[in-house]
Every structure is written in structure tokens, then in C-alpha cells.
Amino acid sequence: MSIQHVSPTSHASVASAADSPSPERVGTTLGVAYAIVALASSAAAVVVPTIRDEFDLSLATGAWVITAFVVALAASAPIYGRTADLIGPRLPITVGLVVMASGAALSAVAPNPTMLLIGRGIVGAGAGAIPVLGPVIIAGRLTEEDRPHALTRMSGLAALSAGGLLLGAVIADRSGWRAVLALPAFSLLLIGPVRRLAYDVRGGLAGLDVAGAVGVSAITVGVNLGLQLGANPMIGVIGVVLFVSGIGASIAGIRSARASFIPASVLRRAATWRIAVAGASIPAGFFSLLVAVPAIFTEELGASRIAIGLWILPAAAAGILMTPVAKWLRTHLSAKHVAALGLATASVALSTAAIFTSSPIGLAGAFILVSMSFSVGQAALVGLLTTATPPSERGAALAVFMVVFFLGGGIGGTILTSIGEAASLRAAIAVLAALPALATLSILSLSDKIVSGESL
């Protein structure tokens, strides 16, 4: 029996017809889960300078407290997405929440940097379930008309992560950095509410392309480690080996499995890659600022952790306020133009940070703009991808999008630390500002037939 990709539209028929949650409830519940994922990076960012001092780590090594989380998230996301296609999102998202909490516990008690980074990787491996399965649940539970509102609310609540810098600072001052790294353990409290929104579909894992799953994850990790070749040859070589092995495993999976992990039709669709690569520039900027801004405030401006959190706090409010703004934008602009606006805002945010590196107001303003970009841009790009993809392949296409999207976060961190140590953080941020600018042009050049779904 051939295993097919279950479409979000099909999922809706599997979910209980009697239970029709409001888009506000769906978006809020999944948004809180997404906020915990985001807090796992933002709250940790404010204690990275402390961790570097305690373990005597360089800027590049210390940045892996964030990068390990982001890379593992990107590597695990497609596995959750493909598994949900086969059995529904209820079990995969439950597993993700439990794994995230387990990694938080390990990070909090880690006796050395190695165990700390392993723990952070496990947090990311669990967190990968939320950004890919959140849209799947939204697509399965809500009508096409209600989905954009829920997606925007989910992304908007994720922008609360900017407040994580202040939360992390307060907790670190009272209980130390280990308590901050334990925060993702609160994901256990969401298991009940999230499981009630999720659902099962008839099917099984017998047709899962295990080789392809391993291959995609190896490629994702390999790309990030391979970028370290110049700074750390040993790590870089491991990355190259993982990348090559991942390609081999993926090819073997396509040849041997009844259903490849990612269908060839999805991989051949240019629109999927253009939207995903464009989207990657948003987390590249967001996560690089998460590393750079606390470092600049601490080392160049002499600010305390609490002061850093207070300066960045308005960005959290901006993310929440973007929910009604994004709704207004959708009624006046096409999805393509809303996505382009989100990308352009990311470029302006990074340019602002590069120009006003020595100004607390400038850095705070940059963080507000990048949070707005994350809230509007991700939701618009997901909506754009959904429209441009056949229903039977949307789960796989979303998995590809999330891999590339959060892979951008890891690449952004690598660019930041590589150029930051060779030249300056100002120069690194300026280079990163060019990425969303180019992405804006790429999205604007998409044909109307693609973005309207007429080409399917």
C-alpha cells in the first residue's frame, strides 16, 4: 500500500466535526507553545555572556548556546512534519513537548560546556515540533478564511520572546543562569491543551522513509557545522561528512522507500525553495541580533542584564500589536506584498542595528523592527507557500520551509560570529542586512499565477 502525504484539508475531515475551535483559541494556544520555543532562545541569550565567562568560552563557542538549539530545531522539524502526515499531529507534538522539557533539565544541570550544548540541542530537537505542526493543526482545524488570523496570532505571541531577555535577566539575577535554561520545561504544562487541539489520522509509520529522515537531518546539521570550517577545521570537517552522508542517505531513501521522506515533486517546485530561502533571512537576522545585542550591551555599553531586558522589552509589545496590524494588511495588500513588507522590515532592522551599534535606543529600535518582521513575515510566507502548493503536498512543503527557515537562524549566527571576530559585529550585522533585502526582491518577482495557486 502506498503511503500518501495527508493534506491539511484532509486532516480537517479526520478531526472531530463537532469540535470547531475558534481561530483565537487555536492561535493563542499554539502561540503560547511557540512563545516557549522562542523563550528557549531569547531568555538564554541574555545569559550567554555569563556562561562564556564561567566556562571561559570564545564568542563563537558561546554563540552555540543559541545555535545548537536552532540547528537541532531545523533538523527535527521535517521529521515531525512527515510523521504528522502519516499519523496526525497529536502524538508528534506531544513527543516534542516532552523532549523539549527533557533537554531543559539537562541544560540546567550540565557540569561542562559539552553537556550544556547537548542539552540545548535536545531542547531544539523537541522545539522543532511546534513551528511545523502548529500550521498543520491550524490548517486541519480551521477554514481557509480563519487560518491567516490564527497564524498571525501564533507568530505574534512568539514575538513575546523579546520579553524573554528581561525574564531571563530577572531569573538569572535571582537564581543564576541554570534556572534560565530550565524555562523550556514549562512546555509540559501545555501537553493537555495542545493535545485537545491536535488530532490523529488513520495510517501508520510502516511507510516512513527512515533513511530520508536521517538524511535530511544530517544535511541540516552538516550545513551549519560545515560553515565552521575556517574557524574550527575539526568541526567543519564533521559538518562536511554529515552533509555528504545525508545526501547519500536521502538518495538511498528515495530509491528504496515506498514513499520518500520529501516527495520529489516538492523538491522540484521552484516556488517552494524561493519562499523558503527568502524566509530564512528573517531568523538569520532575528537570532543574530539575539546574540549580538546582549554582547554589545554588556561588553561595549556596560549595561546590566536587567537593563538589557528593559531596553528590549518594547519589542515584545510590538510583536503582540502586529496581530491586528497584520489583519489590516491582509485586507489591503496581497499575501506576496505582505510577505515582502515583512522581509523589507527585517532588512531595515538589521541596517538600524549596524548604523546605531553604540546607541541603546538604536539597538532597541532594531529589535522592535525585527520582532515585527518575524510576526508578519513568517505568517505571510507560510500562507503564500500553502496557496502555491497542492493540498496533498502541503505537509511536506511546510517541513521543507521550516528546515530552511530555521537553518537561516544557524547560518545567521555563524555569519555573525565569523565576521564579528574577524572584523566587527557592526560589519557582520551590515552583511546580514543584505539578505532580507535580496529576499524582498525575490518574493516580489514571484508570478501572480504561482502566488494565487493558478499554476497548480
pLDDT for the residue 254 = 57
456 by Cβ neighbours in 10 Å (0-12 / 13-18 / 19+) ranks as middle
CATH superfamily of 20-208+261-452: MFS general substrate transporter like domains (1.20.1250.20)
CA distances from 32 to 54, 156, 159, 273 (A): 32, 10, 10, 29
Among candidate residues 203, 218, 202, 220, the one with its CA nearest the CA of residue 258:
203
CA triple 407-409-410, angle to 5 deg: 70
- Residues with Cβ within 8 Å of residue 236, at least 6 apart in sequence: 225, 226, 227, 228, 229, 230
* pTM for the whole structure: 0.76
Three-class HEC string of the chain: CCCCCCCHHHHHHHCCCCCCCCHHHHHHHHHHHHHHHHHHHHHHHCCHHHHHHHHCCCHHHHCHHHHHHHHHHHHHHHHHHHHHHHHCCHHHHHHHHHHHHHHHHHHHHCCCHHHHHHHHHHHHHHHCHHHHHHHHHHHHHCCCCCHHHHHHHHHHHHHHHHHHHHHHHHHHHHHCHHHHHCHHHHHHHHHHHHHHHCCCCCCCCCCCCHHHHHHHHHHHHHHHHHCCCCCCHHHHHHHHHHHHHHHHHHHHHHHHCCCCCCCHHHHHCHHHHHHHHHHHHHHHHHHHHHHHHHHHHHHCCCCCHHHHHHHHHHHHHHHHHHHHHHHHHHHHCCHHHHHHHHHHHHHHHHHHHHHCCCCHHHHHHHHHHHHHHHHHHHHHHHHHHHHCCCHHHHHHHHHHHHHHHHHHHHHHHHHHHHHHHHCCHHHHHHHHHHHHHHHHHHHHCCCHHHHHCCCC
pLDDT band at 17 (very low <50, low <70, confident <90, very high): very low
Whether residue 192 is predicted with pLDDT greater than 90 in this model: the reply is: yes
CA distances from 416 to 212, 286, 289, 364, 408 (A): 31, 11, 9, 18, 12
Grid cell digits, residue 15: 478531526
**Using 50, 70 and 90 to split pLDDT, how confident is the model at 260?**
low
Mean pLDDT lowest among 115-119, 373-377, 430-434: 373-377
Give the model's pLDDT for residue 102: 96
pLDDT > 90? residue 353: yes
User: Tell me: the pLDDT tens digits for 31-62?
Assistant: 899 888 888 888 898 899 899 999 998 877 88
136 vs 81: CA distance, rounded Å: 8
* The pLDDT of residue 154 is above 90: no
* pLDDT tops 70 at residue 279: yes
pLDDT at 12 over 70: no
- Cell numbers that stand for 354 in this block: 549596524
Burial degree of 235 (CB within 10 A; 0-12, 13-18, 19+): middle
Q: Residue 429 pLDDT more than 80?
A: yes
Q: Which of 187-196, 226-235, 384-393 has the least mean pLDDT?
A: 226-235
Please determine, for residue 2, whether its predicted confidence score (pLDDT) is greater than 60.
no
Report the pLDDT averaged over residues 220-239. Answer: 77
For the ranges 107-116, 188-197, 246-255, 343-352, which has the lowest average pLDDT? 246-255
Q: How confident is the model at residue 453 (pLDDT cuts 50, 70, 90)?
A: low
Which pLDDT band holds residue 276 (cuts at 50, 70, 90)?
very high
